[in-house]
Structure 1
Amino acid sequence: MEAEMEVGMEGELWEGRAEAVLGLNLCSSVPICYHSQFGPHEDLLLLEVDDNLLPEILQNRVTIRGQPDEDAVLCTLSSTYSMKFVGTSNSVFLIPPGDSSANGEKRSSVAASIITVATGNIELILAAPKLDKLKKLLKETPYNPDEDFDSISTHKKGLFRWQDLVEMIQASEEEIRAALKSLSAVEIDGYWRIVDDKTMNKTLTMILRNSLLHDWLISALDEETVLSTMVADGFSPRIVAHCLETHGTKVRDSKGTLWELGEKQVCLRLALDILASGKMKLKSFLERWEQSVPSGMKADLKMLQGEVLCDKIGVEEWIRVFSVSALPSTPADRFSALFQERLKWEWKDLEPYIRDIHVPGLSSEGLLMKYTRRIQPNAEAEPIFSAR
């Protein structure tokens, strides 16, 4: 069976293009016939890609990820793309490689055999990584030094190696690594874990106490000295090193590796430890917080943006933990959770809880227009945001 097809060469990618259609001019025609293997070929994907993404695909640096109950995404080493089927009004014929054909004047007498007809293509759209699942998995089994690791490891319950995460999380490898860092996750015995708050609080507190006892400068803590001292006190060297990485910056000099503890990281950890038992009157909290902060550091409420909320009840002001890390990462779910917490938000309170949302092609102003209603009686008044 043969037919004529009109070919419009307007920059489309023809994967596996056969010689029979190479070099055709606009509005030319060529005979076609059905290949012996003609059929639906449901395992074939026709992708619409731009020039930036094409090299990644041709060099096999992409992976399609997703469980049976999830919409598939395509991941490069650094980015995530949603996959959306788009039907086309024109028929797209897929021609397998290796068709023999003549050149020049003989071309018109040679039929191009088609292996299938595509009714559409997969459109790839740059998307935000889906990381809520990563947070959920790691928070289900936080690490503490008293756990029976051998028992957990034997049954592999709630523990995940790097390859497990890559296969389960719909995000690129770079995005997964960045998320692990933001969650302060650490690899212990081959498994990625989040260290429980009590262990981290205890470890940091002991480092600060030792700095007073041994006259260590918290701006220049010698790694070897800290590790040997803490191990002698019964602490795990891996957790001590992780505590330094989480709360400090590495500085190298001729004598070895030094760590400078960060003011914001340390003050935030101490503040959350104080609030772990529940909400407090703001005045009482500030007194305790300032007393706990090591010499040379200054506590400032701005350090707690996105981690706590202040509520005025009567004449008293109270403070409580409300961390952005515990909120969903998708915009719709994030705003839903925020408006469940408060019906109305002032911008100074709302901004810390949405600044980490990055949606390709949508600005912060666009997010606010899509998910909130803005109320501002006059130009001088602070805007108030409620659910749309």
Structure 2
Amino acid sequence: MKLVETTNLQLLVRPTQQDEQEKPSATPPGRPRGMSQGLQTQWNSFRTAEESAPVVVSATSTSHIELVEVAPRLAPLRQLLWQHPYGLQDEQVAEEAGPAAGEDGDGQEGGGDDGPQRKRRRTGAGGGGARGYTFEELLEVVQASPEQLLAALAAEGALLLRGRWRAVDRTYLGELLEHLLLAAEQEGMPLTGLREAPLAASLRGDGYHPAVVAHCLGVYGSRVLEEQGDKEQGDKEQGDKEQGDTGRQAASTSGAGGSVAGVWALDATKVCIHFAHKVLSSGSNGGGSGGLGLALGSGRSMGLQEFLALWGRAVPEALQPQLGLDLLRAETLVEGTGSEARISSFPSAALPSDPAQRFSLLFTVRPRWAWTDLEPFLAGIKVPGQSAEAVLLRFARASQATPDSPLMYTAR
């Protein structure tokens, strides 16, 4: 809101009964709305003005208030969500209540074949207990509309559990994705037709809450229309019949329950990006990607060729054709060329949403940017009424060494 003063004095009058009666006929039939009345009509109005009641001025005004759309201020949201991210400790709390809920919590945490996997998941951070914030509580703290807040929660990968919103520890969520991929392979499901119910039942034995499994599917994939899911399911059932394995498939079909929400397709790009960050963070101390989102600079810089080889081995075979550095334009920085090129993690999702803070960080990391390198990191800038390019000109200046050279951007 801003107050705008005017040089002219405005007189505010109440509408009269005669004005209300003449209002419907203010625009004669056939005349476009907004067109001025003819001279004869105005003259007739002036002639009858003397017979009308005097106009009473109720108030005067020398200013008015304008509402100007501004970008939402989402910095407090990120801080609140990542105070106590959902992780392994919350899983352990659920396991302690397992017997009351029909779960064998102690058995799952103990030895057996799942022992090493459970121990590996302990690297996640997370917080215990019923933490988080309701949507109304977040709306009171964050300057944003309800629609903008929902979009920001989705962008942060927030989890809605028991009516409260929380972030999910990145290490924990990534390992859940890998368990999900393994379970899908064991169930014989294609990555474009994952059935939520059987996967949640399979991962329940590892201590994963069904709501968290559904959240993981939503973060790394999208819902599939039931018609498409049924087609894929039918093709798979035919293949299982040929292999004499219809029993397991029937259980999977009944678990979906015919719900549209029960079929998911993984996004190949998001899955490949997950494994890229995992490879880059393999040499970091303390797992920098487990806390506040994907921490900038977490992990290590490594040779580009070495990274490509490790990345190719980490990604599931079905996604191998999708691999390419174009997938990582907004996720990594590549320095150098040829055999000397090195790559490091630099996810745009972890950059500040405030334009001034974002550009300050970008030019701190790299004083000079080519447009092709800078463009992917401008996608998260949202300023009402301005494009990302217009905002760029406020914080950066462009220059060319020669007329044939590409534009380079430096801080103002």
Alignment TM-score > 0.5, same fold: yes
Q: Which residue of 1 aligns with 2:166?
A: 193
Q: Which residue of 1 aligns with 2:274?
A: 269
Q: Which residue of 1 aligns with 2:315?
A: 293
Cα distance, 1:378 vs structure 2? 3.5
CA contact (8 A) 1:270 1:293 kept: yes
Amino acid at match of 2:269: K
Cα distance, 1:230 vs structure 2? 0.6
Distance 2:139 2:305 in 1: 46
Q: Which residue of 2 aligns with 1:90?
A: 8
CA contact (8 A) 2:305 2:339 kept: no
Which of 337, 342, 357 aligns to 2:366? It is: 342
Whether 2:392 is the aligned partner of 1:387: answer: no
Distance 2:209 2:51 in 1: 78
Q: Which residue of 2 aligns with 1:374?
A: 398
Residues 112 and 184 of structure 1: CA distance in aligned 2, closer, same or farther (over 3 Å): same
Whether 2:336 is the aligned partner of 1:312: answer: yes
Cα distance, 1:122 vs structure 2? 1.6
Q: Which residue of 2 aligns with 1:218?
A: 191
Q: 5 Å matches for 1:69-108?
A: 83-92=1-10, 105=50, 107=52
Residues 294 and 314 of structure 1: CA distance in aligned 2, closer, same or farther (over 3 Å): closer
Residues 105 and 130 of structure 1: CA distance in aligned 2, closer, same or farther (over 3 Å): same
Cα distance, 1:186 vs structure 2? 1.6
Residues 113 and 214 of structure 1: CA distance in aligned 2, closer, same or farther (over 3 Å): closer
Q: Which residue of 2 aligns with 1:133?
A: 76
| Cα deviation digits, residues 299-321 of structure 1 (max 9, x gap) | 22211222211223996322222
Whether 2:209 is the aligned partner of 1:236: answer: yes
Whether 2:303 is the aligned partner of 1:281: answer: yes
Q: Which residue of 1 aligns with 2:351?
A: 327
- Structure 2: which 5+ residue stretches go unaligned? 20-47, 95-126, 231-252, 285-298
Q: Which residue of 1 aligns with 2:179?
A: 206
Distance 2:404 2:55 in 1: 76
Q: Which residue of 1 aligns with 2:234?
A: none
Whether 2:57 is the aligned partner of 1:112: answer: yes
Distance 2:308 2:11 in 1: 70
Cα distance, 1:333 vs structure 2? 2.3
- Percent identity between the aligned chains? 35
Cα distance, 1:93 vs structure 2? 5.0
User: Structure 1-normalised TM-score?
Assistant: 0.69
Amino acid at match of 1:289: W
Distance 2:339 2:73 in 1: 42
Residues 110 and 354 of structure 1: CA distance in aligned 2, closer, same or farther (over 3 Å): closer
Kindly indicate which of the two structures has a greater share of residues assigned to strand: 1
Kindly indicate which of the two structures has a greater share of residues assigned to helix: 2
Q: Which residue of 1 aligns with 2:326?
A: 302
Residues 325 and 131 of structure 1: CA distance in aligned 2, closer, same or farther (over 3 Å): same
2:67 match: secondary structure = strand
Amino acid at match of 1:122: I
Q: CA RMSD in A?
A: 3.0
Residues 149 and 108 of structure 1: CA distance in aligned 2, closer, same or farther (over 3 Å): farther
2:336 match: secondary structure = strand
User: Structure 2-normalised TM-score?
Assistant: 0.65
| Cα deviation digits, residues 367-388 of structure 1 (max 9, x gap) | 2322211122344322211012
- Structure 1: which 5+ residue stretches go unaligned? 1-82
1:297 match: secondary structure = helix
Residues 109 and 215 of structure 1: CA distance in aligned 2, closer, same or farther (over 3 Å): closer
